[in-house]
Structure 1
């Protein structure tokens, strides 16, 4: 049975500010904005090229705003992706790689500035946060590992 990640619920403090960031600033597709009733609103947005979406709103999560860290977007050219985000007014840290050569550590420790020396797939990252502090990572993947 296939199981595909469809939606990630993102805890935010201000729904309209989050919508402005993800749709207005990042340019993600607005799929839905359902103000169901007082205290219950569902906003769904999707990053370009993604099959999975994020949902934020009111009455959707018990998590504190800004507590999701490590959300990841894959890109084929991290330099171009970073330039595009910065042109949209998003502060991006990176590119960097983890000192272990594997997946990045939590937080900003163990980061080595710059692109992976061979520009190897899965080896270079960049990071940004939304207005609440939910943290996103970009990972450059130019060639998928076998079976992926």
Structure 2
């Protein structure tokens, strides 16, 4: 059975502010903006090159605004991606790598500034947040692990 991740739901406090951030600042494609009725609005955006979309709006989740953490966007050149985001006005932390050489710690401990030594795939990260504090990471992958 194939299972494909299609949509992530983000909790936001201000739909129009989130829409401006994701579409105008980050450059995500606007797929839909459906104001169904008072208290129920669906905005769907898709990161460039992604098969998975992001939905936010009103009446879509009971999660507190800004509570989505650890969302990852994959890039092939993290320095270029960080530079582009900074150029778009996004406050980016990184690039960095974890002292263990594995996936980064959620609390920011063991974080070492700069590219992972030897720049292996999966080893370098950068982080940013949307206006509500939903936390995103860039992860550099240039060669995928077998079977991916």
Same fold? TM cut 0.5: yes
Structure 2 counterpart of 1:85: 85
Deviation for aligned residue 1:87? 0.5
Structure 1 counterpart of 2:146: 146
* Residue 124 (structure 1) aligned with residue 121 (structure 2): no
Structure 1 counterpart of 2:110: 110
Deviation for aligned residue 1:117? 1.0
Deviation for aligned residue 1:107? 2.4
- Output the CA distance in 1 between the equivalents of 2:140 and 2:34: 34
Structure 1 counterpart of 2:37: 37
Structure 1 counterpart of 2:15: 15
Residues 88-111 of structure 1: per-residue CA shift (max 9 Å, x gap): 000100000011110111022110
- Output the CA distance in 1 between the equivalents of 2:38 and 2:70: 31
Aligned residue for 1:43, secondary structure, equals: strand
- Output the CA distance in 1 between the equivalents of 2:20 and 2:87: 16
- Output the CA distance in 2 between the equivalents of 1:143 and 1:20: 33
Aligned residue for 1:85, secondary structure, equals: helix
Q: Unmatched 5+ residue regions in structure 1?
A: none
Deviation for aligned residue 1:40? 0.0
Structure 1 counterpart of 2:51: 51
State how many pairs are aligned. Answer: 148
- Output the CA distance in 2 between the equivalents of 1:104 and 1:67: 19
